[in-house]
Amino acid sequence: MTGTITETRAVTRDDLEALRADVRAFLRDEIDRGAFEPDVDSWMTGFDPEFSRRLGERGWLGMTIPQAYGGRGRTATERFVITEELLAHGAPVAAHWIADRQMAPGILANGTEEQKQRYLPGIAAGTSFFAIGMSEPDAGSDLAAVRTRAVAGGDSWTISGTKVWTTGAHLAHAMVLLARTDGRPEDRHEGLSQLVIDLPHPDIEIRPLESIDGQAHFNEVIFHDAVVDSSALLGERGKGWSQVMRELAFERSGPERYLSTMPLLRAWADELRTHGATEEQRVTLGTLTARAWALRSMSLQVADELSAGRRPDVLAAMVKDLGSTFEGDLVDAIRSSSGVAARCSGGSRMERLMAQSVLHTPAFTLRGGTNEILRGIVARGLGIR
């Protein structure tokens, strides 16, 4: 059994359209029966384990995981169709998002047979949720400066240190941690390793951090000499940096990097259809739609590259930079063109979506690596000094 994601069969345009129609019908039904209300940024804050489980039951998670590990053995393009429909409908997908997006490919590429058997079926079923343990209080953008240490001893690792902004750690079943296992901080990219840590753990403290909208979806995570089995090592000891870089291409390039505020655009388009649009509003709507379409083409290109086993790090960084900028521009453009006020509660659907958008926008260009850092990656990739 190979560990990489590959295109396992030819998929026709008709196959994709049929899949899209199924997903849309399912989502319309879910909305009609009140299972969820479309929200902005639902992949970050819309945590609904039951919804994730229903997607798993339909075979719409773990799409690119081989069937031998409980997955569907489908293509990255089919996965793309499903994720973009879920995002455009503002569905509550946060519970499974990180696991399905980047932990499944990471474990497939680097995990032991035991790790694949243990974690992948639950990810595909929508019942096993993951957190990302990369960022640290005094490292941040300088990821190679992580100070969390995992010390090997016999059959175990002992972990000490602090991670921060760890999305969903309080609800996750496991975390993939980046820690220094060898050498000194000055060794930078050398001596870092990834470990899969089961949660909760008696010596891992998870403290909620409240964001501006009053939600607490990310955390500070403190390791108090937490002991885990030696089998927690993911991939090669000391090669964590290159494993993480590969994982980040999955994290940065998907449709969630330009569709977080799409429910607002859709709601506004509905309003204009019902009440009529001025010429200026038509132009704004058309401009935003065209930008989304261009970003979609770029993101699809990254999905193709990833499934062919290549490393489109530069293109992924561009998608995230341009996409997350677009998500914020969309909010500003609709706000000034529609005049809709932002109201957290008691307002109309548009006012509520506008409030969510305004409060969430500051995070778009930070999470997953800030845009300034991404531009450095793009410049270096293009050979600019």
Ligand X SMILES: Cc1cc2nc3c(=O)[nH]c(=O)nc-3n(C[C@H](O)[C@H](O)[C@H](O)COP(=O)(O)OP(=O)(O)OC[C@H]3O[C@@H](n4cnc5c(N)ncnc54)[C@H](O)[C@@H]3O)c2cc1C
Q: Can you give the binding site for ligand X, defined by CB under 6 A?
A: 44, 131-135, 140-141, 165-167, 218, 363, 366-370, 372-373
Minimum distance between the CB of residue 375 and ligand X, rounded to whole angstroms?
A: 8
108 or 134: CB nearest ligand X: 134
Helices and strands counted in the chain (H then E): 13, 8
When the beta carbons of 26 and 258 are compared against ligand X, the nearer one is: 258
**How far is residue 161 from each of residues 137, 145, 179, 190, 359, measured CA to CA in Å?**
10, 12, 9, 18, 30
Q: How near is the Cβ of 356 to ligand X at its closest, in Å?
A: 13
Nearest to 78 by CA among 305, 329, 304: 304
Residue 145 CB, nearest approach to ligand X (Å)? 10
Please choose, from the candidates 156, 133, 157, 158, the residue with its C-alpha nearest in 3D space to the C-alpha of residue 146: 133
Cβ distance to ligand X smaller for residue 218 or 223:
218
**DSSP code string of 342-382:** P-SSSS-HHHHHHHHHHHHHHHHTTTTS-HHHHHHHHHHHT
Smallest distance from ligand X to CB 44, Å: 6
Question: CB of 154: closest distance to ligand X in angstroms?
Answer: 29
Least Å distance, CB 240 to ligand X, is 13
- Give residue for tokens 């190679």: 144
CB of 57 vs ligand X, minimal distance in Å: 26
Nearer to ligand X, 285 or 374 (CB): 374
Indicate the residue among 11 and 373 with the shorter CB distance to ligand X.
373
Inter-CA distances, 142 with 78, 169, 307, 312, 369, Å: 35, 22, 28, 21, 10
Kindly tell me which of 27 and 169 has the beta carbon lying closer to ligand X. 169
Provide the minimum distance between the beta carbon of 192 and ligand X in the complex, in angstroms, as a whole number: 14
Residue nearest to ligand X (CB): 140
Ranges assigned E (strand) in 61-215: 130-133, 149-153, 156-164, 174-180, 192-198, 204-209
- DSSP element (H, E) containing 286: helix 279-307
Q: Are 130 and 176 in contact (CB under 8 A)?
A: yes
Cite the DSSP H helix spans in 126-258. 240-253
C-beta closer to ligand X: residue 129 or 218: 218
Q: How far, in Å, CA of 163 to CA of 123, rounded?
A: 23
Nearer to ligand X, 140 or 347 (CB): 140
Largest CA distance in the chain: 71
- Residue corresponding to tokens 């992924």: 316
